Structure 1
Amino acid sequence: MWRPSSTRTPRQKKLIADAYTLGASLGLEVWCEDEAGPFQAVPHPGESWQPEGHPARQPHEYVRGGTAKVLTLFRPADGHVRVEGTTTCPNTVLHPWLKRELSAILADLPDPPPTVDRSRAAWERWQAGLIQPITLPAELPPLRVLLVLDNLAGHKTPALVLWLFAHGIMPLFTPVSGSWLNIAESIQRVLKRRALAGEYPTNPAEIISRFESVAKHWNASPTPFVWGGKRAARRKAQRERRHAVGGSGAFTRQPIRRRSYGHVRGK
């Protein structure tokens, strides 16, 4: 009988932290998934370039131009991000996109070495200590990917979770009120700031285009994110060279460059 996992336990936080810090050493890819938005097609606060003496002005009419959401897959180890914009995000949109992107990720992975752990224990390790672990199928392929997702009903449908198992992907659901454990939250804040700060998109298509363009530019020179906890990391960051990023407990070893705005002096 199908039984979803219970995430009302501190153990799930430890499992997700272990995924970020130990996943690579175990030969596993670690990806994070999240949906950002909705973002309105209205003026967004933020800095913008303006000629000296000509400040930015907002329209006096308040017109809602629609909303857009951004589907995000993020690999903290190297900073690579996959995004796709949409105006709605039901399961009929999210699940096909997620399967398509994860299939492409798996296709790019090298064949697992002969020494890889193919046992059932490799899967059960990522459910140890949960009050109600997910019911694993009788037959399982080698575990290849750990996928961190928010604790939403749409992420736990039997059809989706069984598809993940069949393709060697172990889902790790964040606890209730534990979205800070999902590092995708951090990259979404970076992309949002770069795509919308100080801008006035007039329709959802423009919002989607901005996010996808910013993501393409980010992937040209991505910044890896390293898991840094939340409370202890704040104190440790004072002793080490760390740069916190908003949205989760992640940090970077080097600061993320922000857009700089020049000023054109009037003649």
Structure 2
Amino acid sequence: MDAELRHLRALVAVVDHGTFTDAAIELKLSQASVSRSVAALENVLGVRLLDRSSRHVALTPAGERALAHARRAIADVSLFRRAAVGAGGELRVGYAWSALGRHTTDLQRRWAAEHPQLPLVLVQSNTPTAGLNEGTCELAVVRRSLADVRFATALIGTEARYAVVAADDRLARRRSVRLADFAARTVAVDSQTGTTTPDLWPADAAPAATRATHGVDEWLTLIAAGQAVGMTAEATVAQHPRPGVVYRRVRDAPPVSVWLAWWRNDPPARSEAFLRLARRAYQTA
């Protein structure tokens, strides 16, 4: 048996998400299926890639050497797919949480008016590259900088940050909040695609703890139950209203940068047109 793409994707997902359980959620597979895929890859190669002795899996030396090649193979397959089928008669734009927020619908309509022969399709993908590395889109809207040199990025605009609390939380009675209001609280954080990181707070006003979540729905469900508070970009406010959850602007938090990303060596033909419309939407606002 040879190594298959699904085996490589399972390995990368486990490394990126830290556990087999979280990798299974991301891949929309069972935990057992992900475990079998990694075990099959190890059997094919004849080496152990992951150390499963700790609470969070860790790469073995062989796994460290293999990981970069696994990522490259997945990316090459994505490039092959796009080269073989082209854009498929549409422009696919990925996003992790909220696309372009309140600008989304207006941009969709403007795009349809200017490019009636090339439908714009928005694709949600809760990965660091919002689907670029996975081959599900040609462009991606990201709110975390991409250090991977394979991708090029261009700034679209910026968004304010908002606190997110349960409707019966004491902060919900305010019109706005400050970073210091998060002190002694538990903050829900999506470390893969979220925009909230510990370095937002001064050392003497840091939250008491963080709680890991995976994706916007899990994040909002936790906050609505009063088990944590959150902070997010303005776009989430427009696209994810939720009963039992209240958004309040954080007055002293730095803005969130919104970027458009694409494969550096394979930019979509209409990337400049999309970037122009997206920037216009933010500048007009």
TM range (shorter): under 0.3
Q: Given the two structures, how large is their TM-score scaled by the length of structure 2?
A: 0.22
Q: Given the two structures, how large is their TM-score scaled by the length of structure 1?
A: 0.23
The answer to which structure, 1 or 2, has the higher relative contact order (CA under 8 A, 6+ apart) is: 1
Higher strand share goes to which structure? 2
